[in-house]
A and B are shown apart, each in its own frame.
Chain A
Amino acid sequence: MHTAAIDPPGIQWLRVSPKYVTVRLVEWAIGNVIMVGLFSLPLLFVELGWWRWPSLWLAVTVPAALLLLALWRLVLIPRQVRAIGYAERDDDLLIRRGIFFQRTMVVPYGRMQYVDVAVGPVERLLGLCTLKLHTASAGTNAHLPGLPAAEGARLREQLSARGEARLAGL
């Protein structure tokens, strides 16, 4: 995989499960189908002659633009999932994500207050889970989605144990 310019050199990134693409697709479908459908209603009403106000071109443009945006995001999903990575170092965990808007984050084990494992319905079907790390800062928005359940459990235990060993106060 490609390593972006803002990644620290010499990191061996671990990837999340490719099955996570499915989760994202389901989320995408639920969100965007509803959205595009909703914004297509005026078009339908105008066609049926119930509504007069939105002129035809407007009624066509808005859902079309939304559809294009949705398709663009659909195309990006597999790459976005591939861009999620994590690496366990001796004293901290690195998490990266994003293609256009990239973020690389380091969370020291000693700073972790607690670790959550969350499983949604689609994730459960695919045997995946999401790991969330919490520090004393609300800005630490560290979640790691699409981990295989076993890997998630291992990571949670590992992080908790390391956090315990290196726990510092605030």
Chain B
Amino acid sequence: MTQEQTAVDGDWHRVHPASPFVRGWVALVAIVYFFGRDTFERALQGRGNIGDNFNERTPWLLAGGGVVLLLALGSFVLSWYFTRYQLAEGYVRVNTGFLFKQQRQARLDRVQAIDIVQPLLARIFGLAELKFEVADAGHSAVRLSYLRLAQAKQLRATILGRAAGIADGSETVEVPEAPEQVVLYLPPGRLVGSLILSEQSFFIVLSAIASVLVSVLTESRAFILYLIPAILGLGTAYWRSFNTGYNFTAAISPDGIRLRYGLLDTRAQTVPPGRIQALKVTQPPLWRILGWYRIHVNVAGYGEHHRSEGEHRTMLLPVGRKPEVMMMLSLVLPDPGTADPERVFTAGLTGLDSGAGFVTTPKRAWILSPLGWRRNGFLSTDTALLLRSGRLWRKLVMVPHQRTQSIALRQGPLARLFGVADLVLHTTPGPVAPRLIQAATEEAVSLFDQQAARARKARKLQSSEQWLAQLPPAAMPAPPTTHAMQHSPTQEEPDHG
């Protein structure tokens, strides 16, 4: 097996032989435990395996266990043998299964995002899973598990290179890993702080006070006992957030935005330029004290399906101050389409009324949202539409014009009474649902018309899915901070474990 040298030609390759074991180790442990328990217990109790009741179940159990184990191992080997992948003619193809065969293929130029995932055990063995998202919600991810880490990175570079249009599909030369520069690192202290100040904690404190009051009033201690499972559940939730948010690093490269995070299980996401369909910046009330924000994005293919996983994958910035938010915004939208992006985005994040050109809910409709009417508003720059809302839970949504799918204008009887209407922008499935609420009818209608025209214009300018091929090499999209980009693969995944 000379996989490493030939990983990118048109041949069929197999994944790493250890893959099924890394994936199915739980099954193996379960089998051994189930059939071997009796024997272990005897051994622990100092009795011999061949004890007083030799003819009873122990040997049968061991033999049965052996057979099941062999079957499991056999199926592992078979599944490894029949799992093959190929990268050729602009497609990546993966064949799996020996009884029920499945062939899955995905177009390289439709790649929306590539993840390299390393669960703990895979990390120990230096293996990694490559996940390849195409533009289809949820289920169509092509996944290769597991490859050696270096090989996975190489494959990722090749796929991105071909998808970007810089490497011809017919070549067999390896595409070098794109250089990248780290632009953001999240210190663990701030992650902990963000968890402590999250909404979740707010409700915990609230319910803790309530339960203490209840137990004092009813003078029963038993009530506390009911809280134990709740505390355990919350503990796991916090742990999961900490585990996935740990070491969050954002970097930029010509391949797009790279995000890496994770304490035990690590994940490195690459989102090519222009693949972010919509973005939202939110600020829970408690975060206002420290001026923190977080950013979620919609990327086609991430979808909403696998909830707990998707939640973290769509996080562009788990917690950050305003300068970091501005930087991430500039990465997502290199051309903000306005002369003074700082002022515009600041008004979007924290502003009220018509500062920086935002158009808000008319005063006549204040009763529909007594708190938020001064904040609900929109602003259209040359490249994106900004929608802001929320007085307590501040929110700013940004949709690039060329990513708009379809637009709907809605008006119910009450809204009609106050002469306001809602504008809904449809985007790929994800955590961001752009909606302009309670805009004056005439403004909403004209925005509806203009937005359709802007989206049309923006789509015409964007000529190709291959983001590097459409530009002359000299004009590679270099986000603001990358002028001093080194041409060596620096700062690639530090070798954990």
Is B112's CB within 8 Å of the partner chain A? Answer: yes
Per-residue contact bits, chain A 83-111, to B (CB 8 Å; 1 contact, 0 not): 00000000110000000111111111011
Docked complex Cα distance between A7 and B412 (Å): 14
Q: Are B428 and A102 in contact (CB-based, < 8 A)?
A: no
Q: Are B112 and A8 in contact (CB-based, < 8 A)?
A: no
Please tell me the number of chain B residues within 8 Å of chain A, measured between CB atoms. 39
Chain A residues near B452: list those with CB within 8 A.
91-92, 106, 108
Q: Are A108 and B424 in contact (CB-based, < 8 A)?
A: no
B459 interface neighbour in A8, A110, A140, Cβ under 8 Å:
A110
Please tell me the number of chain A residues within 8 Å of chain B, measured between CB atoms. 30
Q: Are A170 and B277 in contact (CB-based, < 8 A)?
A: yes
* 19 more A-B residue pairs beyond the given contacts A111-B405, A137-B427, with a C-beta to C-beta distance below 8 A: A5-B416, A5-B441, A6-B410, A6-B411, A9-B445, A92-B452, A100-B412, A101-B411, A102-B411, A104-B448, A106-B407, A108-B404, A108-B406, A137-B406, A138-B137, A139-B433, A170-B112, A170-B300, A170-B403
B426 interface neighbour in A101, A104, A139, Cβ under 8 Å:
A139
Q: Are B135 and A136 in contact (CB-based, < 8 A)?
A: yes
Which positions 384-418 of chain B face chain A at CB distance < 8 Å? 402-413, 416
Docked complex Cα distance between A83 and B277 (Å): 32
Chain A residues near B433: list those with CB within 8 A.
139
Docked complex Cα distance between A91 and B452 (Å): 9
Docked complex Cα distance between A103 and B112 (Å): 31
Q: Which residue of B lies closest to A136 (CB)?
A: B428
Q: Which residue of A lies closest to B433 (CB)?
A: A139
Per-residue contact bits, chain A 138-156, to B (CB 8 Å; 1 contact, 0 not): 1110100000000000000
Q: Which residue of B lies closest to A112 (CB)?
A: B406
Docked complex Cα distance between A170 and B407 (Å): 15
Q: Are B410 and A101 in contact (CB-based, < 8 A)?
A: yes
Q: Are A6 and B421 in contact (CB-based, < 8 A)?
A: yes
Is A49's CB within 8 Å of the partner chain B? Answer: no
The 4 closest A-B pairs by CB, nearest first: A139-B426, A137-B426, A105-B408, A137-B405
Q: Which residue of A lies closest to B435 (CB)?
A: A139
Please, could you name 27 A-B residue pairs with CB atoms under 8 Å apart, sorted by A?
A4-B411, A5-B411, A5-B441, A6-B421, A6-B441, A6-B445, A8-B445, A8-B448, A8-B449, A9-B445, A91-B456, A100-B412, A101-B410, A101-B412, A103-B408, A105-B407, A106-B407, A108-B452, A136-B300, A136-B428, A137-B406, A137-B428, A139-B405, A169-B135, A169-B465, A170-B277, A170-B428
Is A135's CB within 8 Å of the partner chain B? Answer: yes
Docked complex Cα distance between A142 and B406 (Å): 9
Q: Are A102 and B426 in contact (CB-based, < 8 A)?
A: no
Q: Which residue of A lies closest to B453 (CB)?
A: A91
Tell me the smallest distance from the CB of B287 to a CB of chain A, in Å: 28
Docked complex Cα distance between A18 and B404 (Å): 33
Chain B residues near A101: list those with CB within 8 A.
410-413
Chain A residues near B404: list those with CB within 8 A.
108, 111
Is A168's CB within 8 Å of the partner chain B? Answer: yes
Docked complex Cα distance between A126 and B433 (Å): 38
Q: Are A135 and B410 in contact (CB-based, < 8 A)?
A: no
Chain B residues near A103: list those with CB within 8 A.
408-411
Docked complex Cα distance between A135 and B426 (Å): 9
Docked complex Cα distance between A107 and B441 (Å): 20
Chain A residues near B275: list those with CB within 8 A.
170
Docked complex Cα distance between A107 and B445 (Å): 15
Is B462's CB within 8 Å of the partner chain A? Answer: yes
Q: Are B412 and A104 in contact (CB-based, < 8 A)?
A: no
Docked complex Cα distance between A100 and B417 (Å): 11
Chain B residues near A105: list those with CB within 8 A.
406-409
Tell me the smallest distance from the CB of B402 to a CB of chain A, in Å: 8
Chain B residues near A100: list those with CB within 8 A.
412-413
Is B455's CB within 8 Å of the partner chain A? Answer: yes
Chain A residues near B320: list those with CB within 8 A.
none
Which positions 153-168 of chain A face chain B at CB distance < 8 Å? 166, 168
Per-residue contact bits, chain B 437-455, to A (CB 8 Å; 1 contact, 0 not): 0000100110011001001
Q: Are A108 and B445 in contact (CB-based, < 8 A)?
A: no
Chain A residues near B402: list those with CB within 8 A.
168
Docked complex Cα distance between A105 and B423 (Å): 10
Q: Are A92 and B409 in contact (CB-based, < 8 A)?
A: no
Q: Which residue of A lies closest to B427 (CB)?
A: A137
Q: Are B405 and A140 in contact (CB-based, < 8 A)?
A: yes
Docked complex Cα distance between A110 and B300 (Å): 17
